């Protein structure tokens, strides 16, 4: 198949391009390099099945493809808040452009939505049937509400134009190839620990997240893309939940760091808890995460150790 990956030079997108090439597909990676980098895909450049297009999805594009993994959107709060209006445009205009393309060439399209559609959840753990608790006017809204509209657009193009869609709600994911300046918690803590700098916990560290390793996510996303008679939305995440303070301590221990923990103000609307209910993915996709943090964190630390040592 010929497969388009929007956001293909980003953290998840670059792993996905590599996986799809290994499955002998032709892969078109489309990216505007806002948070993605050529470093992430440099090893794929020699593969004759790989093509790279520098393009911004807020502008239309016509390509002949069979499947579209629509990932383009900055995912770290630091980056999606840097130009909030652009984040909304990417989610709304970008998703309309990709749905228009899917409609025109009859491609199947998968949206990488997010656990953030549940906002600061009042239901725990979160099932797909929960409608969420999202602030529509806060500093996270450009992303949370942007993804909610993207989901709405997917469903409306499906109902109105019979576009073949899939919606995946991704929970916090980590692994090699996260950008050093990404700003999300796992990469921040690992880099701070490796440099023996202070570990910056926002708030008291009692807020929880559930982190999945990127390889598990890819298994789930690819299974969803190729599933029959199931459009989602489906949660893909690791249900093992722990506090941000526990994460900091674990990373200090694994890196044998001399770093101290310091506390900085908690950002506005920072969700207090998050854990996926993955029973739907288990039932429909026969999917479960396989890599726990005891295995995934050391792999990620090794990646960043090479990067940090390389300067």
Give me the residues that bind ligand NAD (CB under 6 A), please. 7, 9-13, 31-36, 56-58, 71-75, 90, 94, 112, 114, 170, 172-173
State the Cα angle at 297 between 303 and 43, rounded to 5°: 30
Q: Which does 71 bind (CB under 5 to 8 A by kind): ligand UDP, ligand NAD, none?
A: ligand NAD
Tell me how far, at minimum, the Cβ of 11 lies from ligand NAD, in Å.
4
* Beta carbon nearer to ligand UDP, 56 or 176: 176
Tell me how far, at minimum, the Cβ of 271 lies from ligand UDP, in Å.
6
Q: Which does 34 bind (CB under 5 to 8 A by kind): ligand UDP, ligand NAD, none?
A: ligand NAD
* Beta carbon nearer to ligand UDP, 1 or 78: 78
Close Cβ partners of 55 (under 8 Å, ≥ 6 residues apart):
30, 31, 32, 61
Q: Report the DSSP pairing between strands 50-54 and 67-70.
A: unpaired
User: Which residue in 148, 145, 185 sits closest to 169, CA to CA?
Assistant: 148
Tell me how far, at minimum, the Cβ of 9 lies from ligand UDP, in Å.
20
* Beta carbon nearer to ligand NAD, 124 or 263: 124
Q: Which does 244 bind (CB under 5 to 8 A by kind): ligand NAD, ligand UDP, none?
A: ligand UDP
Q: Which does 32 bind (CB under 5 to 8 A by kind): ligand NAD, ligand UDP, none?
A: ligand NAD
Query: What number of other Cβ atoms are within 10 A of residue 308's Cβ?
Result: 15
Q: State the residues that interact with ligand UDP by CB under 6 A.
A: 76-77, 172, 184-185, 188, 200-202, 207, 209, 244, 267, 270
**Is the bond preceding 310 in cis, omega lying within 30 degrees of 0?**
no
Q: Is residue 241 within 8 Å of residue 207, measured between CB atoms?
A: no
Q: Which does 202 bind (CB under 5 to 8 A by kind): ligand UDP, ligand NAD, none?
A: ligand UDP
Tell me how far, at minimum, the Cβ of 61 lies from ligand UDP, in Å.
29
* Beta carbon nearer to ligand NAD, 94 or 232: 94
Residue of closest CB approach to ligand UDP? 184
Residue burial 177-186, b: 16+ Cβ < 10 Å; e: rest = bbbeebbbbb
Q: Report the C-alpha gap between 26 and 4 in whole angstroms.
A: 9
* Beta carbon nearer to ligand NAD, 184 or 257: 184
Tell me how far, at minimum, the Cβ of 292 lies from ligand NAD, in Å.
17
Q: What Cα–Cα distance (Å) separates residue 25 from each residue in 16, 43, 118, 226? A: 11, 16, 34, 13
Q: Which residues are catalytic?
A: 143
Q: What Cα–Cα distance (Å) separates residue 260 from each residue in 109, 201, 212, 257, 308? A: 45, 10, 26, 9, 19
Q: Report the C-alpha gap between 114 and 137 in whole angstroms.
A: 18
User: Which residue in 177, 145, 159 sits closest to 103, CA to CA?
Assistant: 159
């Amino acid at each position: 198949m010929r497969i388009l990956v929007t956001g293909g030079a980003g953290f998840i997108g670059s792993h996905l391009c590599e996986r799809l090439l290994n499955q002998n597909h032709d892969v078109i990676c489309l990216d505007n390099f806002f948070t993605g980098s050529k470093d992430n895909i440099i090893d794929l450049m020699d593969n004759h099945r790989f093509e790279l297009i520098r393009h911004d999805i807020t502008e239309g594009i016509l390509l002949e493809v069979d499947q579209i993994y629509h990932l383009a959107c900055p995912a770290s709060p630091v980056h999606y808040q840097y130009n909030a209006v652009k984040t909304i445009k990417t989610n709304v205009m970008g998703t309309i452009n990709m749905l228009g393309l899917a409609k025109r060439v009859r491609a199947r399209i998968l949206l990488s939505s997010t656990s953030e559609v549940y906002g600061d959840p009042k239901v725990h753990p979160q099932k797909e049937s929960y409608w969420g608790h999202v602030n529509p006017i806060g500093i996270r809204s450009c992303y949370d509400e942007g993804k909610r509209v993207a989901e709405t657009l997917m469903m409306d193009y499906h109902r109105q134009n019979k576009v073949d869609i899939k919606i995946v709600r991704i929970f916090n994911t980590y692994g090699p190839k996260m950008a050093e300046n990404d700003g999300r918690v796992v990469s921040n803590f690992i880099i701070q620990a490796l440099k023996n700098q202070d570990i910056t916990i926002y708030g008291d560290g009692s807020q929880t997240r559930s982190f999945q390793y990127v390889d598990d996510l890819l298994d789930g996303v690819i299974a969803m893309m190729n599933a029959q008679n199931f459009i989602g939305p489906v949660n893909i995440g690791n249900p093992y939940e722990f506090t941000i303070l526990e994460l900091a301590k674990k990373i200090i221990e694994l890196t044998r760091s001399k770093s101290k923990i310091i506390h900085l103000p908690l950002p506005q609307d920072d969700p207090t808890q998050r854990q996926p209910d993955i029973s739907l993915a288990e039932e429909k996709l026969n999917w479960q995460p396989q890599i726990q943090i005891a295995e995934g964190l050391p792999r990620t630390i090794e990646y960043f150790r090479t990067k940090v040592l390389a300067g």
